[in-house]
Amino acid sequence: MDEVLERVPAADGRGADPLPRPVPFLGSAPSIQRIRTMIEKVRDSDAPIFILGESGTGKELAARTIHETGRRRGGQFVAVNCGAIPENLLESELFGHARGAFTGATRDKPGLVEEAGGGTFFLDEIGDLPLTLQAKLLRVLEEKKIRRVGETRVRPVDVRFISATNKDIEQEVARGNFREDLYYRLKIIPIELPPLRERKEDLIVLLEHFLDAYSRNFARPRPRFSPLALELLLNYPWPGNVRELQNEIQRCLVIAGDSPIVSEDFLSPKINPAGETYSPACLRLAAARAEFEKRFLREALVRCQYHRARTAAEIGLTRQGLFKLMKKHNIEPRPGIRQ
């Protein structure tokens, strides 16, 4: 994605992204279950949505999911990074301009807000929006109209606004860097995304997902992590959150080449700073973990009477993820049970 802005066409099945994209909020952590529930509740609403979270937690993914699963999915999803466009160009980019409005304006040009008509306009890093434009954005939110630079005519717009930031926006309001009235106008529906370190129980699911996705993307057999590599990945705090995890898996597969095992030697130095290598103790630890995983899975299947869809839902996996685990541990489905 261009770091400044992105226009995503209406959902018509064309132009699929060739790179693996995260499935919206995998995992079974209570915080992630709440996010999924909230998205289902707000996806058809036109009320402004305000997404908070650290860098890499999936703020744009949340915005995309709301758009692509809601009633506005027939329109465009237009994203703009408020901190990546020079201030002197930002007003024209957002609201458009008339021919001759300034040097270089050789034609009338609609702004990004107009392009998102009928769809969703995503303002990323809203905390970086200059104060002068904050007042104009507030007017658009209140009046549902825009005025292009150099024009007196106002134009109605039908847009759902989603904003996001990794800043402490209330602190920015207290410092006078962000308008309080705009903050409350944007924050009709707040959604706060948890950092990955607060949902460590989801790490295995995410690791498996990205390993599968990038293996398919690279058209190579799916490798597995060595016991020590897995241990190091699980113990790392992931300050860059899911984005950092995704990048690390991609990097590991590139460096591992055709190796069937992603060993600890392939990990980034920040994840394996001591340059640890395999020892027999790791094998014992891996065997203990595998035995626990197998027992946990069997118990869940028994509780759900071997109904695989129900079992997958209970332990926070997709059906495909459950099938892979059952295959990994040679657990056969019981005959005669409805799936």
Do residues 20 and 101 both lie within one domain? yes
SS3 for 140?
Answer: helix
- CA–chain centroid gap for 225, Å, is 24
Do residues 168 and 149 both lie within one domain? yes
Residue type, 230: L
Do residues 18 and 150 both lie within one domain? yes
Q: Which residue has the higher pLDDT, 240 or 227?
A: 240
Neighbours of 264 (CB within 10 A): 21
Query: Among the three residues 275, 296, 318, which one is the final residue of a domain in this structure?
Result: 275
Most confident of 28-32, 38-42, 109-113: 38-42
**DSSP, residue by residue, 41-105:** HHTT--S-EEEE--TTS-HHHHHHHHHHHSGGGGS-EEEEETTTS-HHHHHHHHHEE-TTSSTT-
Do residues 186 and 49 both lie within one domain? yes
Do residues 285 and 271 both lie within one domain? no
Whether residue 50 contacts residue 164, with contact meaning beta carbons closer than 8 Å, is answered with yes
CATH number, domain at 237?
1.10.8.60
Q: 18: pLDDT confidence band, cut at 50, 70 and 90? A: very low
List pLDDT tens digits, range 123-144.
999 999 999 899 999 999 999 9
Domain hosting residue 339, numbered range: 279-339
Count of domains for the chain: 3
Do residues 256 and 299 both lie within one domain? no
State the alpha helices, DSSP H only, in the chain. 30-42, 59-69, 87-95, 112-115, 131-143, 169-174, 180-186, 203-217, 227-235, 241-256, 280-303, 308-315, 319-328
Query: Among the three residues 250, 275, 300, which one is the final residue of a domain in this structure?
Result: 275
- CA–chain centroid gap for 179, Å, is 27
Residue type, 275: G
Q: 92: pLDDT confidence band, cut at 50, 70 and 90? A: confident
Residue with tokens 């129900």: 310
Q: 103: pLDDT confidence band, cut at 50, 70 and 90? A: confident
